Amino acid sequence: MVLWLVAVLASAAEPVSSIESLLTALARAPPQAIAFTELRSSALLEGELIVSGTLEYSAPGKLSRIVMQPFEERTDIDGDEVRITHADRPERRFSLRRAPELRGLLTSFSAILGGDHAALEREFELSLATAEAGWQLTLIPRSKRARASIGSIRVRGAGDTPACIAIDGNGGQSTALLLGAVAGPDAAGQRVMHCGALP
């Protein structure tokens, strides 16, 4: 298992010139696992909900989100089916189609790790911005249905290592996923550094 954490240490921060070369640099063969911290805001809530754990990418289209803090919960996405299991709550199953946000995350995640430029282009309009601090790949869904709930997905990183995936919903909710080395304590601070617009 190759952790991005290891990768980030090993790689020199080379500038990325094109989407194509960025995707080639980001590509990893499954299985992959990476630590994450997720910050989610909702129109219903004051402040943010923060959970952390591990994302496991075991094959194209197969992603598990294992939450360890502040409670334990496991979400498995297999093909189209999403299953959420929790120790003392009934299992919840639903179709990925009904969760465009999750679907966007999975597609972008799978395509980035798989280096599948064509698949990404099929579902999203892509644009790349680069700066000294790193790069930012912006994905805007092409389908009307997905656009109804997702404004954009921004992946930020440096070199061949992504640091944050930020998903802006259209209903006042937003999600930021801090990945690898930047996941962990002081999530709010890290988000300011790694998820905002490129300086």
Partner 1 sequence: MSPRRTAAWLLALWLLSLSLLGIYVVGTLRLSGDLRLFLPGPASPEQKLVLEGIGEGPASRLLLIALEGGAPEALADISQKLVDRLHKSPTFRYVDNGSAGVEAIPDIVASYRYLLSPAMDRRRLDAVTLREALEDRLHDLSSPAAPLLERWIPSDPTFELLSLVESWAPRHAPRQIAGVWFDAAGRRALLVAQTAAAGFDPDGQQKALAELDTAFEEARGNAVIGMTVSGPGRFSALMKERTQSEASWLGSIATAGLLLLLAVAYRRPRVLLLAALPIASAALAGLACVSILYGEVHGITLAFGFTLIGVAQDYPLHLFSHQRRGLEPRANARALWPTLATGVASTCVAYLAFLASGVTGLAQLAWFTISGLAVAGLTTRYLLPRIAGDAFRDPADSVFMKNFASRLSLPAPPALLSAAFVAACLAVVILAPAPFWEDDLGKLTPIPRPLLEQDARLRAELGAPDARYLAVISSGNQELALQRLEDATPQLEALVSSGAIKSFDHAARYLPSGRTQLRRRESLPGAETLTDALDKALRGLPFRAGVFDPLLAAVAHARELPPLTLDALRGTPLGAPLEVLLHERDGRHIAIVAFSGVSAPDRLEQWAAAAGDAVTLIDLKRAAVELVVRQRVRVLWSLAFAAVLLVLVVRIALRSWRRATRVLIPVAMATLIVVTVFRAAGQPLDLFHLISLVLAAGLGLDYALFFEQAGMDRDARLRTLHGVLVSALSTLMVFALLSLSSIPVLRSIGITVTLGVLMNFLLAPWLQTTHAATDHDRR
Least separation in angstroms between CB 162 and partner 1: 19
* Crossing angle of helices 19-26 and 100-114, rounded to 10°: 90
Residue 104 or residue 159: which is nearer to partner 1 going by CB? 104
Alpha-carbon separation of residue 179 from 6, 55, 187, 195 (angstroms): 13, 9, 11, 10
Residue 97 or residue 142: which is nearer to partner 1 going by CB? 97
Least separation in angstroms between CB 110 and partner 1: 14
Residue 175, class by beta-carbon neighbours within 10 Å (0-12 exposed, 13-18 middle, 19+ buried)? Answer: buried
Distance of CA 133 to the CA centre of its chain: 19
Residues that bind partner 1 (CB under 8 A): 38, 40, 42-47, 49, 51, 65, 67, 71, 73, 75, 79-82, 84, 86, 89, 92, 94-102, 149, 169, 171, 173
Calpha distance 4→27 (Å, rounded): 11
Least separation in angstroms between CB 109 and partner 1: 13
Calpha distance 178→166 (Å, rounded): 8
Residue 109 or residue 135: which is nearer to partner 1 going by CB? 109
Alpha-carbon separation of residue 5 from 40, 74, 168, 171 (angstroms): 23, 22, 26, 33
Residue 24 or residue 95: which is nearer to partner 1 going by CB? 95
Least separation in angstroms between CB 126 and partner 1: 22
Least separation in angstroms between CB 120 and partner 1: 18
Q: Which of 136, 141, 135 is nearest to 169 (CA)?
A: 141
Least separation in angstroms between CB 102 and partner 1: 5
Q: Which of 67, 65, 34, 33 is nearest to 51 (CA)?
A: 67
Q: Which two tokens stand for residue 142?
A: 């092409």
Residue 65 or residue 156: which is nearer to partner 1 going by CB? 65
Residue 171 or residue 184: which is nearer to partner 1 going by CB? 171
